[in-house]
Structure 1
Amino acid sequence: MSRTVTLALVDSAGTPLGALPSFGVPEPWWQEVGSIVDGARRRYGVEVSVLRLLTADRAAPPGGCVSYLAEVGAPPRVPLAPVTVDLAPQPRRAPWAQPGGPARSLAWAKRELDRLGRPVTGVNQQRSWNLSAIWRLDGPQGSAWLKQVPAFFRHEAAVLRWLATATPDLAPTLLAADDTGRILLDHIPGDDRYAADQAERAAIAADQHTVQRRAIGDADALVAAGVPDLRGPTLARWIRDRLAGHDTSVVADLLADLDARMDRVRACGLPDTLVHGDLHPGNVRGDGRSRTIIDWGDAFVGHPAFDILELTEGLDEIDTAPLVAAWAARWRAERPDSDPERAVDLLRPVAALRLAAVYAMFLANIEPSEHPYHRDDVPACLERAAGLA
């Protein structure tokens, strides 16, 4: 599967210029823009910054015919087709999705790297969508990554600062951060471990246990630093608040019992701690010798079982059982009177319900043209929660 891409161009002031001829790119995932930037350069000699999604010929990713707004520094020399684009301001538009936004973020990153003695000689845009914008910055002293996120993910910098002192071998190196959601990270060798086998998943679970054991005593400090507090009854309120306005009839009984269920979870005796919030193997980077857990924007303080539930999502029972058993054994060694397996069973439908609330939060805080990325996720997660309850 691939994409056919059309770029509607604007200059740095936001003046519309026209559209480049459509062209194909190999990756089907709409948020991946590295091949779009490369294709515009190779085919038309145009340097673009992809700003945001405009239209698609299907309701949701991946693939299809997709159009984007892209910024250029000067009008290109190739003929452009007339195009109509809604350029009206949108209050939920991300800073990097606006003309001039990428340039401002890159200027900040280059200043920070210059301060660290790491001048930038090359920039490659990798991703642009409602949850993040990502660029790779190369130089003689190595590569760094600029990531910019919306307000609901800005606590990632606080988590990374804590990890740098608590478990530095398992965390990305934070080079700089500001108060607008920009973070600058050192390059991590290896690749994203989407294809992790059972042994590697087991190692990831053990790594995260190290993080969570260390974070138990720092839970209040992490909350004070801005990490969301989703402990016990707070999580139940948070879920209800974010799902307000969505059709939750399929999980009506689960929602009605949620406070009592969270009381039963607390009775299982496990401590609240730092939760990654999206601990699938693709959020781990490794080279065969070491592993680094990345993308901490979904992190919160809450129950540790949420991470083992995410790490085993999609596996069959034969593969899930030993991972959960090893996770439970580690926690039982820490808390001999606890019942980790019961906590996992109680939280299994809550994990899907929490994800529905997360996607609802995304939809409430991003501009409407970006809704296709997440629109189907809320009902899908609610259906899954109902099936697990």
Structure 2
Amino acid sequence: MSVTVSRTVTLIVIDEEGHLLGELPAFDVSVPFWPETSEIQTAARDRFGLDLAVLRLLRADDGADAAGGQVTYLGQLLSPAPAVTFAPAQVDLAPHPLRAAYAHPGGPAETLAWAARALDERGRGPVTGAVQQRTWNLSTVWRLSTPTGPYWLKQVPSFFAHEPAVLTWAAGSKRVTPLLVAEDARMLLAHVEGDDLYGAGVETRRQIADDLHYLQLAAIDSVPHLLADGVPDRRRPQLLAYLTRVVESYGTPDPRLRALVDGLADRLDRVAACGLPDTLVHGDLHPGNVIGGDARTIIDWGDSFIGQPGFDVLRLTDRMAADEAAIVIDEWAARWRAEVPGSDPRTSVELLRPVEALRLAAVYADFLAGIEPDEHPYHADDVGRWLTRAAELFEVSP
């Protein structure tokens, strides 16, 4: 039996100039996930007559996994407000050095104006409607309506600023969202038909693995170019330092973690000996980051890096039944053996299992270090969860 997780939203609103107006009465939305904002925007318009954008999370209570509970956001008017009665509210409106540009007062309006100009310059405007689909510390995403069809506006924080470089490199690929223009971590993306593939079965995941394989083959010779364009370097020396640091900063007395880190240099040497080349890694290749329709499109390349391709197939098969995961991994390994005779992709994956969990702990530690404290509830438990998983996988790893 499915359980509905409810989200109760409170909006504290500032005007177009950034002055505090007050708090609106709380209301419920059907989508529980905290970053999702389209229903909030619709409710503000339909219930209160307000045209606004959500800037950022202020606080969240009683939620789990960034879903449900009592959630309070800061919103800013995008146009003059009708007569609305606001309750008194207290909120710290001081700037924060780690706040994303799109979460500052005026940020959404500035980004929307940029997108409108960019579409007009390319003969694809004017923008006739804009819906804020989501906003949080990792991105803001808007769906823009125009006479020539829908487009997607995405803006990311500085630590994801290499995403446009990846999309530019992949221009022309049918498996990556077409990029119209990018500037200052803002991107205008072509619309792709289909829905995300959360919950995809084994057959779809086999196809996703095959799609990515050919992108990764093409990227091998482009590694120097991608690194020069800012894609993070997670090859052996850099990866070793990156993973050691997260355990030193967040690790517990768990002896398994200590043993994993103590043997990490040797483990990464054994991975290298398996013979697979370093290439472009998506970094978060779960099916929800793939749009499926007549074809499949891999989206959200902000977590991408240069490193071992085995990381992606591990992410793709996470939480699958063991027998189904083995099908996807065995086919993935066969493709790489065909491309790199004498290589041992299967052993590479088994060696990387606890390393992938450790890498995800480091990714979440980076998020926490790069975002303002008010938004820590999105990721507060993730570092410890993945460190625990790394220790568990180390116990059964080769």
Does TM-score exceed 0.5, indicating one fold? yes
2:369 is paired with a residue whose SS is: helix
Number of the residue aligned with 1:150: 157
Spell out structure 1 runs of 4+ moving beyond 4 A: none
Point out the more displaced range, 245-254 or 360-369: 245-254
> Which residue matches 1:106?
112
CA-CA distance at 1:200 after TM superposition: 0.8
Listed as ranges, the matches of 1:9-158 within 5 Å are 9-58=13-62, 60=64, 61-72=66-77, 73-119=79-125, 120-158=127-165
Measured on the aligned residues, the alpha-carbon RMSD in Å equals: 1.1
Q: Distance in 2 between matches of 1:92 and 1:244?
A: 23
Indicate the residue corresponding to 2:274 in structure 1.
Answer: 268
1:352 aligns with 2:357: yes
Aligned counterpart in structure 1 of residue 324 of structure 2, from 319, 332, 335: 319
CA contact (8 A) 2:36 2:133 kept: yes
Matched residue, 1:304: 309
Alignment length (residue pairs)? 385
Bigger shift: residues 192-201 or 273-282: 192-201
Q: Give the letter aligned to residue 269 of structure 2.
A: D
Supply the AA of the counterpart residue of 1:102: P
2:213 matched to which residue of 1?
209
Given that 2:63 and 2:70 are in contact with CA atoms closer than 8 Å, whether structure 1 keeps it comes out as no
Deviation, structure 1 residue 228? 0.7
Structure 2 residue 177 is the aligned partner of structure 1 residue 172: yes
Match of 1:239 in 2: 243
Contact 1:9 1:69 in 2 (8 A): yes
3-state DSSP of counterpart to 1:331: helix
**What does the per-residue CA deviation read over 1:254-273, in whole Å, with 9 as the maximum and x for residues that have no partner?**
11211111111000011111
CA contact (8 A) 2:95 2:104 kept: no
1:7-27 CA-to-partner distances (Å, cap 9, x unmatched) read 000012221101111111001
Task: Give the one of 9, 19, 22 matched to 1:5.
Answer: 9
Cα distance in 1 between the residues matched to 2:243 and 2:182: 29
- Separation in 2, partners of 1:75, 1:186: 32
Contact persistence 2:49–2:81 (CA under 8 A):
no
| Deviation for aligned residue 1:195 | 2.6
Query: Which secondary structure state, in structure 1, belongs to the residue aligned with residue 111 of structure 2?
Result: helix
Match of 1:336 in 2: 341
- The TM-score, its normalising length taken from structure 2, stands at 0.95
Query: Corresponding residue for 1:197?
Result: 201
Show structure 1 runs of 5+ residues with no match: none
- Superposed CA deviations along residues 195-234 of structure 1, whole A, max 9, x for unmatched, are 3221111000000001111111111111111111111121
| TM-score (ref. length: structure 1) | 0.97
Structure 2 residue runs of 5 or longer lacking an equivalent are none
Query: In 2, are the aligned partners of 1:275 and 1:307 still within 8 Å (CA)?
Result: yes
- Written as runs of structure 1 = structure 2, the 5 A alignment for 1:247-286 is 247-250=251-254, 251-286=257-292
Letter in 1 for 2:134: R
CA distance in 1, matches of 2:247, 2:84: 48
Task: Give the match's secondary structure for 2:13.
Answer: strand
Q: CA separation in 1, counterparts of 2:248 and 2:177?
A: 36
- 3-state SS, counterpart of residue 230 of structure 1: coil
Q: What are the Cα deviations for residues 136-157 of structure 1, in whole angstroms up to 9, with x where unaligned?
A: 1111101111100011111000
Q: Secondary structure at the match of 1:169?
A: coil
- Aligned match of 1:291: 296
CA distance in 2: counterparts of 1:181 and 1:243, whole angstroms = 30
CA distance in 2, matches of 1:24, 1:17: 21
Preserved contact between residue 6 and residue 67 of structure 1 (Cα < 8 Å): yes
How far off its partner does 1:326 sit?
0.3
Tell me by how many angstroms 1:249 deviates. 3.4
Note the C-alpha offset of 1:59.
5.8
Per the alignment, in what secondary structure is the counterpart of residue 83 of structure 1?
Answer: coil
